[in-house]
Amino acid sequence: MLAPGAARHLLPVVLLLLLAVLTGVVAGGTVAIAAGLVAAALAALVAFLAVFFRDPERTPGDGIVSAADGTVRAVERSGERWTISVFLGPLNVHVNRLPIGGTVEAIAEAGRGFRPAFRPEAASNAARSYRLRTEIGPVEVIQIVGVVARRLVSFVRVGATLRKGERFGMILLGSRVDVLLPAERVEPTVRVGDRVRAGASTIARIRP
């Protein structure tokens, strides 16, 4: 399964690939060789895009689940909130999922710049935050761009009510997603360096 919107990125490349193949079949000599090389490069690009835009089905895990595939880069408490931050590499699934069921109360843009997403100063990069009303109180999920990943995609609008594990957006190429949780209601279950999957891996348990 491919992520929403993948077709508009894949289709032009597939059409160019077909054109290159057709040119190679019809033409001869050096033109056919050149067309074959172009076709090989385009085929590799199609394969990369298919992997990048993959969107596998997931069964929601227990408790609070990760919003992104990748590696946990930080588990920090600041005041009344826990922040669990996940870094996405270029080969991770880039579709983001809701860590807990709730209603989207606000979507806001913030920050500027494109610092490496795995560094602490990336917290001030261009970002998009989703404020959720949930059973445990306010929860915030923040998509943060990196050096290469400079486009954030939203699948939802303000007022949408989603279940845990449902898709809400994606980031093009590697970047970072932070989940901010009310500290009095949850207890983190992951550590820095843990690998997690969006919608499936538990990152925190809800306190009774």
Concatenated DSSP letters for 146-206?
-SS--EEEE---TT-EE-TT-EEEEEESSEEEEEEEETTTEEE---TT-EE-TTTSEEEEE
Same-domain status, 100 and 46 = no
Rounded Cα distance between 169 and 167, Å, is: 6
Same-domain status, 122 and 193 = yes
- Mean pLDDT (whole number) for 149-172: 88
Given pLDDT bands bounded at 50, 70 and 90, which one contains residue 198? very high
Q: How many domains does the chain have?
A: 2
Residue 1 counted as domain residue: no
Determine the structural domain holding residue 193 and report its residue range. 64-206
Beta carbons of 105 and 133 less than 8 angstroms apart: yes
Residue 29 counted as domain residue: yes
Residue 58 counted as domain residue: no
Same-domain status, 104 and 177 = yes
Radius of gyration over every alpha carbon of the chain, rounded to an integer in angstroms = 20
Please identify which of the residues 66, 85, 124, 175 carries the catalytic annotation. Answer: 175
> What is the CATH number for 139?
2.70.70.10
Task: Give CA separation, 124 vs 81, 120, 128, in Å.
Answer: 18, 9, 11
Residue 104 counted as domain residue: yes
Beta carbons of 102 and 140 less than 8 angstroms apart: no
> pTM of this prediction?
0.78
Residue 109 counted as domain residue: yes
Same-domain status, 36 and 137 = no
pLDDT (0 to 100) of residue 183 = 96
Task: Give CA separation, 175 vs 52, 74, 162, in Å.
Answer: 13, 14, 23
Q: What residues does 49 pair with on adjacent strands?
A: none
Rounded Cα distance between 44 and 50, Å, is: 10
Give pLDDT tens digits for 8-34: 666 776 777 777 777 777 776 687 777
Answer yes or no: 175 catalytic.
yes
Residue 76 counted as domain residue: yes
pLDDT (0 to 100) of residue 110 = 78
Same-domain status, 34 and 122 = no
